[in-house]
Amino acid sequence: MGYGELIIRSYDAQNDRAQVEDFERRCEVGPAKRVFLFTDTLGDPICRIRNSPIYKMLVAELDSQLVGVIQGSIKLVTVHRPPNDLAKVGYILGLRVAPLYRRRRIGSSLVIKLEEWFIANDVDYAYMATEKDNEASVKLFVDKLGYAQFQTPTILVNPVSHRRSRISSNVELAKLKIEEAESIYRKFMSSTQFFPVDMGNILRNKLSLGTWAAYPRGESWGEVPSSWAMLSVWNSGELFKLRLGNAPLSCMMYTKSSRFFQKLLPCFKLPGIPDFFHPFGFYFIYGVYGKGPLSGKLVRALCQFVHNMASSKSKDCKVIVTEVGGSDTSRLHIPHWKILSCPEDLWCIKALKNEERDNLHELTKGPPTRTLFVDPREV
């Protein structure tokens, strides 16, 4: 059976929006052996890249039918390689191919076309993130397209309950002004891999709810406490919603029964699971950083504060998500549910310029950095 010519072109919001939304619904097919999340873009297919400095979405058509999509964004970040410590990077996300049209090189054609756009915009490196056990994605990018494994961060997910978390009375919390938060981030995190040069734009974005610091009670923030921690919060639920798919029947039954017993026996304070089967929003914690012997406990106090904020101020925030370096000890202090979290996310990278290929070994073969800045615009 023959097929027509594959056409890859830029997304046209006016003419393509409804078709892309329908395409995303038709692609709601996840792994058969585990739970997964569907994304509701709230009528805006490019919502996940709209806040990036430069972005683009491509669509693939075959016989006048939409069969694939991909998105990309470009920014300037810090990268540890001589002689420069800055590089322009392109981020790849949202690759989808219709189930009936897979294994026809449509996915690789979309990636290559997006790489061409990166190259035209003088991008040094392209990178992407996927789950480590996503064999199809790893095979495409690593085995076929020449990407190298770069980082294995940890994604931590904690459900939001109506019960307030108890924050230690030995901890003082302070909301930082944007200028102060930006100054501290640049001082302590600007040397980390992929720290965005436009950090101020992130903190000033309407989706960034603020930055908070924690330090021991009795000490002064203005005099550099013996221990301190900080983090910022991004309201991803304003961009898109999530919904759980492929959940086992036991999980659904436990979810409903836990909420029932919570109402029936509130005095026992039984833990309940939020309703993940209808679209819900989430907060993303980014810029987690701490110093001093008590920094881990202070990070935990900040996460508890964010939980209480989500519980009291948001109607549809069901989970709080953060992503930290795989060797970052702060992950041990961040509240999360193991069943919802991902211990090893996988970032892969590819040099798009000949002069950068020699530096790729240094980026991918060195020991992982403890501190990792995850841009909330790429979640």
Please give the pLDDT value at position 94: 93
168 pLDDT more than 70: yes
What is the pLDDT at residue 82?
A: 65
Check residues 3 and 247 and name the one with the higher pLDDT: 3
Residues 120 and 345: beta-carbon distance below 8 Å: no
The Cα–Cα gap between 375 and 196 comes to: 7
Pairing of strands 125-131, 86-97: parallel
Sheet (strand 54-62) strand order: 6-10, 54-62, 65-78, 86-97, 125-131, 345-351, 148-151
So what's the pLDDT on residue 255? 47
**pTM for the structure as a whole:** 0.89
Which amino acid is it at 107? G
Predicted pLDDT of residue 273: 60
| pLDDT above 90: percentage of residues in the chain | 64
The secondary structure element, H or E, covering residue 92 is strand 86-97
DSSP letter assigned to residue 207:
T
> Is the C-alpha dihedral spanning 121, 125, 129, 134 positive or negative?
positive
Q: 3-class DSSP state for residue 322?
A: strand
Sequence-separated (6 or more) residues with CB below 8 Å from residue 321:
155, 156, 157, 158, 236, 282, 283, 284, 285, 379
Q: Pairing state of beta strands 6-10 and 54-62?
A: antiparallel
Question: What pLDDT, on the 0 to 100 scale, is given for residue 37?
Answer: 65
Is the pLDDT at 270 greater than 80? The verdict is no
Beta bridge partners of 39: 242
| Choice between 129 and 81, residue whose per-residue pLDDT is larger | 129
Confidence of residue 222 (pLDDT cuts 50, 70, 90): confident
- 281 φ/ψ sector (left φ>0, alpha ψ -120 to 50, else beta): beta
| pLDDT at residue 237, rounded to an integer | 93
Residue 344 has pLDDT above 50, yes or no: yes
- Tens digit of each residue's pLDDT (9 = 90 or more) over 359-378: 776 677 766 667 889 999 99
Supply the pLDDT for residue 251. Answer: 47
d(CA 53, CA 215): 34
Tens digits of residue pLDDT in 4-26: 789 999 999 999 999 999 898 77
pLDDT for position 357: 77
* pLDDT band of 355, cuts 50, 70, 90: confident
**CB count, 10 Å around CB of 262?**
18
Does residue 83 register a pLDDT over 90?
Answer: no
Q: What is the spatial distance between Cα 241 and Cα 1, in angstroms, rounded to a whole number?
A: 39
Q: What is the pLDDT of residues 309-336, one digit of tens each?
A: 999 988 889 999 999 998 899 999 999 9
Confidence (pLDDT) at 265: 43
Best CA proximity match to 118, nearest among 197, 203, 52, 67: 52
Contacts of residue 262, defined as CB under 8 A and 6 or more positions apart, other chains included, come to: 270, 272
